[in-house]
Amino acid sequence: MALLKFSSVESQLEDQVLETNCPIFKLLNSEILEETKYHILDIGIPNGANIQFFSRYYCRLTIEGGQEKLAAMRKEPDLEKDEIHQRIVTLFPYSKESHGHFDLILCWDVLNYLKPAVFNAFMQHISQFARCGTYLHAFISPKQTMSATPRDYQILDDGRMRYTPSGQTIPSPSYHQTDLRELMPQFTIKRSVLLKNGMQEYLFRR
């Protein structure tokens, strides 16, 4: 599988970098066709910058703001499979009749905060609303530590984003490509780039 490879040349701490280039996001946006209608799922919190960015496209934007509740499940004792499923369905109450399918799913960095069982259950649920060709974009931390909470990413332009600085840090699960393939078998890794802030930018495809 061909992957884009970029090396990081800066040793600057992640919480000191408030802006980052996102070459995969830029590439993804360059392929959006003006005459095609897209349905985009943003699981992060609503913010004006992102709404304004996507307003220039012919698209339907669904913003659930469920990332913090989804991430908070990592603080709880291990849950039964049925309870995990019900929690996720409650957070993302979609139906094929009302939502159809999504063409692009923006996960930001929330996947880092999911225990494997929750990660896998979330992907099983969300993949029901993804068709062949649906893209999923995410930032994965390969480092040993990460921000204590998911960050609020704001799109500045096609290839740049600003994000909130981290205060406290917690251990990172450091999901690697082998882990991701196991946790989200419904999706295939199409691109992977190591950013200067230490995060790995990923593009997956259904």
d(CA 84, CA 78): 9
d(CA 155, CA 19): 10
% helix / strand / coil in the chain, to the nearest 5? 35, 30, 40
Residue 18 has pLDDT above 70, yes or no: yes
Phi then psi for 80, rounded to 5 degrees? -70, 155
Residue 138 has pLDDT above 90, yes or no: yes
Q: What is the DSSP letter of 82?
A: H
- Helices 116-126 and 81-91, interaxial angle, to 10°? 50
First to last CA, the chain: 15
Residue 69 has pLDDT above 90, yes or no: no
Q: Which structure tokens are listed for 205?
A: 């495809």
pLDDT of residue 9: 34
Ranking 6-20, 78-92, 176-190 by mean pLDDT, the lowest is: 6-20
pLDDT band at 16 (very low <50, low <70, confident <90, very high): low
Kindly report the three-state secondary structure assignment for every residue of 85-109. HHHHHHHCCCCHHHHCCEEEEEEEC
pLDDT band at 99 (very low <50, low <70, confident <90, very high): confident
The vertex-183 CA angle with 181 and 189, nearest 5°, equals: 30
Extended beta strands in the chain, E state? 19-21, 38-42, 59-63, 102-108, 130-140, 145-147, 153-157, 160-163, 169-171, 188-194, 200-205
Residue 2 has pLDDT above 90, yes or no: no
Residue 37 has pLDDT above 80, yes or no: yes
Using a pLDDT cut of 90, give the percent of the chain over it: 62
**Structure-model confidence comparison of residues 20 and 66, the more confident one:** 20
Q: How many CB atoms lie within 10 A of CB 47?
A: 16
**Structure-model confidence comparison of residues 113 and 77, the more confident one:** 113
d(CA 135, CA 102): 9
Q: What is the average pLDDT across 190-206?
A: 95
Residue 142 has pLDDT above 50, yes or no: yes
Residue 107 has pLDDT above 90, yes or no: yes
Q: In CATH, what number does 14-205 get?
A: 3.40.50
d(CA 35, CA 82): 42
